[in-house]
Structure 1
Amino acid sequence: MTKSDKATAIHRTLEELYPEVPVPLDHTDPYTLLVSVLLSAQCTDVRVNQVTPALWALTDRPEVMKTIPAEDIREIIKPCGLSPTKSRAIKELSKIIDEEHGGRVPQSFAELERLPGVGHKTASVVMSQAFGVPAFPVDTHIHRLAYRWALSTGKNVVQTERDLKRLFPREQWNRLHLQIIFFGREYCPARGHRMRDCPICSVHGRKSLLKREKG
């Protein structure tokens, strides 16, 4: 089986398991999605969804958020971790969005990645989930699964994103990255994972990892 054939088979399995793929972060517009994705760095989506209602009660508009002291934002988002850095980034990016982009989240990778606290992965999530632009956000979970499935060398997330984009059609990217995330949570966790019990790893897993597990 070629790597392309394997990718097709994996996609077919994911389509069967996850015909519906809701965006895991609760949001109402591109701005609230952007802030939620920023908060999700080194934090679970579940925790972010528990924290953001209190933040939105404060405000969910950039023109107001920019006026709120970073300390007040920090107090609300503490459970998400890295709160000093994240609170400053939220305040600063809100100011830029309001004053330089007319209060609207920019719709380009370059402009998004210039915002404080926004890297390529965060920009990719916003572009794909808020604006429908084909993107393949690769977090540590997708990076791990792509290596386990021998779809990428696993050297770094940049290489993994490049490999996955080559293997899967552009029109599949936005949906597929969510399907892989859901699959990883349910069947393919980082710890305590048995590849031979996994619907995808058992069939398409990296041979060296399967051999090590058996041995």
Structure 2
Amino acid sequence: MPARSRTRRAPTARSRARSVEIVDRLERAMPDVKIALEFQDDLQLLVSVILSAQSTDVGVNRATPALFGRYPDAAAYAAARPEDLWPYIRSLGLYRNKAKAIVAAARAIAEEHGGRVPRTREALEALPGVGPKTAGVVLVHLGAGHAFPVDTHVGRVARRLGLTREEDPDRVERDLEALVPEERWAKAHQLFVWHGRRTCIARAPACSRCAVEALCPKRGVPPSLRR
């Protein structure tokens, strides 16, 4: 017998108000929140986000200055072979796959978009090696549209706060977008990332210094870690 699909209910006004209060409290606690990746233009942002998968932002920022100096534009990447990028990004996880994705995306940008990173989610997701999360992050940090991209931190924080029960990032994103006003998606995304890295840590959440503890049901957090 096929599994029945879960009925998705529209959030209530109360749940939306609670979600907005969570974002408000996080913003007061972290007023200077911003993306930690270092970049100077649209293409550098895209490359940095691709490199950040399963790697730390600190590690990416160490690797990119030399990479960006060698490959200043989409045409330069497009003319390269993936293995040409390896010496610059070998310190990062999955560097072979990332090099392949960067070169393929750059070739599409050079051939189909005049060398400029596209500024719609559909066009970004159509680039080789660019998935929904990467496209969403690039979109919001280009200031080109609204999105609530979900990485491991955002997903974990959202589930612990009871904002979603989903595991699939696309489903989590839809739940969050239904709860938070659209104009606040980008800021809320970055707040959840920072909160997940600094406080709502995977193995040992620091609940005692959490800005939203009073609003958090701590779903999935063992009682021994609720301190």
> Does the TM-score normalized on the shorter chain lie above 0.5?
yes
Q: Give matches, 1:8-19, under 5 Å.
A: 8-19=20-31
Equivalent in 162, 168, 185 of residue 173 of structure 1: 185
Give the one of 30, 38, 43 matched to 2:55: 43
1:91 maps onto 2:109 in alignment: no
Aligned-pair Cα RMSD in Å: 1.9
1:207–1:75 distance in 2 versus 1, CA, 3 Å: closer
CA distance in 2, matches of 1:64, 1:48: 20
Q: Which residue pairs with 2:4 in the alignment?
A: none
Q: How does 1:166-205 map to 2 (within 5 A)?
A: 166-200=178-212, 202-205=213-216
Q: Is the 8 A contact 2:63 2:89 kept in 1?
A: yes
The alpha-carbon distance between structure 1 residues 57 and 8, as it changes in their structure 2 partners (threshold 3 A), is same
Is the contact made by 1:74 and 1:86 (CA closer than 8 Å) also made in structure 2?
A: no
2:82–2:100 CA contact under 8 A, matched in 1: yes
Do structure 1's residue 76 and structure 2's residue 60 form an aligned pair?
no
The structure-2 alpha-carbon separation of the partners of 1:97 and 1:208, relative to structure 1 and needing over 3 Å to count, comes to closer
Paired residue type of 2:184 = Q
Q: Could you tell me how far apart the structure 2 residues matched to 1:100 and 1:62 are?
A: 11
The one-letter code matched in structure 1 to 2:197 is R
Which amino acid counterpart does residue 107 of structure 1 have in structure 2? R
Cα distance in 2, alignment partners of residues 4 and 58 from structure 1: 47
Contact 1:146–1:154 (CA<8 Å) still a contact in 2? no
For residues 211 and 37 of structure 1, do their structure 2 counterparts lie closer, same or farther at Cα, with a shift above 3 Å needed? closer
Residue by residue over 1:23-54, the C-alpha shift from the partner in whole angstroms, topping out at 9 and shown as x without a partner, is: 21111111110010000111111111111011
Quote the residue 1:110 is aligned against. 122
Q: Distance in 1 between matches of 2:114 and 2:52?
A: 25
Give runs of aligned pairs for residues 140-179 of structure 1, distance below 5 A: 140-179=152-191
CA distance in 2: counterparts of 1:81 and 1:211, whole angstroms: 30
- Equivalents in 2 of 1:64, 1:163: separation in Å? 40
Matched residue type, 1:106: P
Instruction: Give the direction of change, closer, same or farther, for the CA distance of 1:36–1:211 in structure 2 (3 Å limit).
Output: closer
Between 1:120-129 and 1:19-28, the stretch displaced more is: 19-28
Q: Structure 2 stretches of 5 or more lacking a match?
A: 1-12
Q: Identify, as 1 or 2, the structure richer in helix.
A: 1
Name the CA distance, whole Å, in 1 between partners of 2:160 and 2:104: 38
Give the distance between the partners of 1:29 and 1:160, measured in 2 at CA: 29
Measure, in 1, the Cα distance between the counterparts of 2:92 and 2:32. Answer: 27
TM-score, scaled relative to structure 2? 0.87
Q: Match of 1:72, SS?
A: helix
Deviation, 1:207, is 5.4
User: In the alignment, what sits opposite 1:206?
Assistant: 217
Q: Tell me how far apart the structure 2 counterparts of residues 156 and 210 of structure 1 sit (CA, whole Å).
A: 19
> Would you say the 8 A contact 2:155–2:167 is kept in 1?
no
Which residue of the other structure, out of 15, 18, 32, is the alignment partner of 1:6? 18
CA distance 1:172–1:208, change in 2 (3 Å)? closer
Q: In structure 1, the residue corresponding to 2:186 is in which secondary structure?
A: helix
Partner amino acid for 1:206?
P
Q: Give the number of equivalent residue pairs.
A: 213
Query: Structure 1 length normalisation: TM-score?
Result: 0.92
Question: Percent of pairs identical after alignment?
Answer: 38
